[in-house]
């Protein structure tokens, strides 16, 4: 697994100098790691660079510089880095108005289990959702979920090859699908390693 260590991080002092350039690099990288499904659902795919940015920002905001506390942050974010056979994403339901969001989250119970990925004509892949903690109550879902898509060797080969890759949601209250662009496909394919 491509985990981050303390050696991968800037010190607080170095980060204050490098932050603007590093942030620009990460934002450029993230531009090809986002998949919008319909009007209100987005998958933000994580990797070592996006997680390094998250850790750096947490260390900066909290003024963390002690080794043990830095390791705690790394331990929190490292599980969100793909390990070669999967894609990991933050799944967000984005509704700008508070009342609209409240109503939507009540209607969309179980939506995280309705997300899917399809590589070419292969079977749809359903993600494993919210391994860290339950994010749904009996009357509403959360606006944020963490998803892990496990891919077979055949899926990985298609993803790295010329297969069309689609993401979708087939919830009764929210049903959309989208084909990802070549740029997004290439960015996400970098997370996958073939065993062959």
Q: For the segment 63-90, what is each residue's pLDDT rounded down to a tens digit?
A: 988 889 989 988 888 888 999 999 999 9
Q: Which CATH class for the 33-46+84-196 domain?
A: mainly beta
Non-local CB neighbours of 15 within 8 Å, separated by 6+ positions: 9, 22, 56, 59, 60
pTM: 0.89
Q: How confident is the model at residue 134 (pLDDT cuts 50, 70, 90)?
A: low
Domain residue ranges in the chain:
1-31+48-81, 33-46+84-196
Give yes or no for a contact between 92 and 115, defined as CB atoms under 8 angstroms apart: no
Query: How far is residue 150's CA from residue 194's CA, in Å, rounded to a whole number?
Result: 13
Query: How far is residue 50's CA from residue 48's CA, in Å, rounded to a whole number?
Result: 6
CB count within 10 Å of CB 113 equals 19
Is a pLDDT exceeding 90 seen at residue 92?
Answer: yes
Could you please report the per-residue DSSP string of the chain? -----GGGSPPHHHHHHHHHHHHHHHHHHHTTSEEEETTTEEEEE--HHHHHHHHHHHHHHHT--SHHHHHHHHHHHGGGS--BSEEEEEEEE--SSHHHHHHHHHHTTTGGGSEEEEETTSPPBPPEE-SSS----SS---SEEEEEEE--HHHHHHHHTT--EEEEEEETTEEEEEEPPHHHHHHHHTTB----
The 10s digit of each residue's pLDDT in 170-192 is 999 999 999 999 999 999 999 99
Give yes or no for a contact between 115 and 177, defined as CB atoms under 8 angstroms apart: no
Q: pLDDT value at position 170?
A: 96
Q: Which residue has the higher pLDDT, 139 or 93?
A: 93
CB count within 10 Å of CB 27 equals 10
């Amino acid at each position: 697994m491509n985990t981050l260590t303390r050696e991968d991080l800037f010190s607080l002092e170095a980060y204050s100098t490098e932050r603007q350039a590093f942030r620009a690099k990460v934002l450029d990288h993230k531009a090809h790691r986002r998949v919008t499904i319909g009007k209100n659902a987005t998958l933000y795919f994580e990797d070592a660079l996006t997680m390094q940015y998250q850790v750096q920002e947490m260390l900066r905001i909290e003024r963390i510089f002690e080794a043990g506390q830095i390791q705690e942050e790394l331990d929190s974010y490292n599980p969100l880095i793909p390990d070669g056979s999967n894609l990991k994403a933050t799944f967000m339901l984005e509704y700008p108005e508070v009342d609209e969001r409240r109503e939507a989250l009540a209607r969309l119970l179980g939506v995280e289990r309705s997300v899917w990925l399809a590589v070419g004509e292969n079977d749809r892949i359903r993600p494993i959702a919210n391994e860290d903690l339950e994010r749904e109550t009996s009357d509403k879902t959360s606006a944020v979920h963490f998803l892990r898509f496990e891919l077979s060797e055949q899926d990985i080969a298609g993803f790295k090859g010329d297969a069309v890759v689609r993401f979708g949601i087939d919830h009764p209250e929210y049903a959309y699908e989208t084909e990802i662009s070549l740029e997004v496909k290439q960015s996400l394919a970098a997370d996958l390693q073939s065993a062959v």
